[in-house]
Amino acid sequence: MELLVKRAMNGDGESFIQLMETYRESMLKVAWGFFSNQEDVADAMQQTILNAYEHIGELKKINYFKTWLIRILINNCTQLYNSQKPMADQEEATDQSYFDTYPGENSFFDLLSLLERKDRVIFQLYFGEEYTTREIGEFLGIKESTVRSRIHRGKEQIRKQIQREEWA
């Protein structure tokens, strides 16, 4: 992988594309943590791939390529999300606004739909990508303690939902 990154840093587009394919699924899941519609996920992915290619020469540590890539993706998702914020805030104002409708039946989407919108990306980064709470805090610009409490709260929501389904 390091060789691919090095080649990409030297301007090899095919190596860069190979890297994007390697991390495609991880990137998609992070993007779905922000959005519940395909158009926004598609825009965030496209923007991130182009931004990463544009700036790969600035990557300091080859080993941190994935982290660097995810950071760009989160920045783009945050920017896009904030540009839609008035609409999002309106949705949040209604009860259970976070029960989004995702495209297609899928356990990944099922889980996301149980979580509050702002907790979804945290869950994906923590459980899906195995980042630490400290790293997630740095990614999202929030305190580590906030990340921990959101994970705890989100897990409680999911635990209750599981119990409800089992008792039903």
Query: Residue 7 Cβ, how far from other proteins at the closest point, in Å?
Result: 11
Pick 109 or 142: Cβ nearer other proteins: 109
Please tell me whether residue 159 adopts helix, strand or coil conformation: helix
Strands (E), 23-139: none
Query: Residue 5 Cβ, how far from other proteins at the closest point, in Å?
Result: 9
Pick 95 or 141: Cβ nearer other proteins: 141
Query: Residue 131 Cβ, how far from other proteins at the closest point, in Å?
Result: 5
Q: In the chain, how long is the greatest CA-to-CA distance?
A: 58
Pick 62 or 88: Cβ nearer other proteins: 62
Please tell me whether residue 101 adopts helix, strand or coil conformation: coil
Strands (E), the chain: none
Is the separation of the CB atoms in 6 and 101 below 8 Å? Answer: no
Query: Residue 164 Cβ, how far from other proteins at the closest point, in Å?
Result: 13
Please tell me whether residue 123 adopts helix, strand or coil conformation: helix
Pick 29 or 117: Cβ nearer other proteins: 29
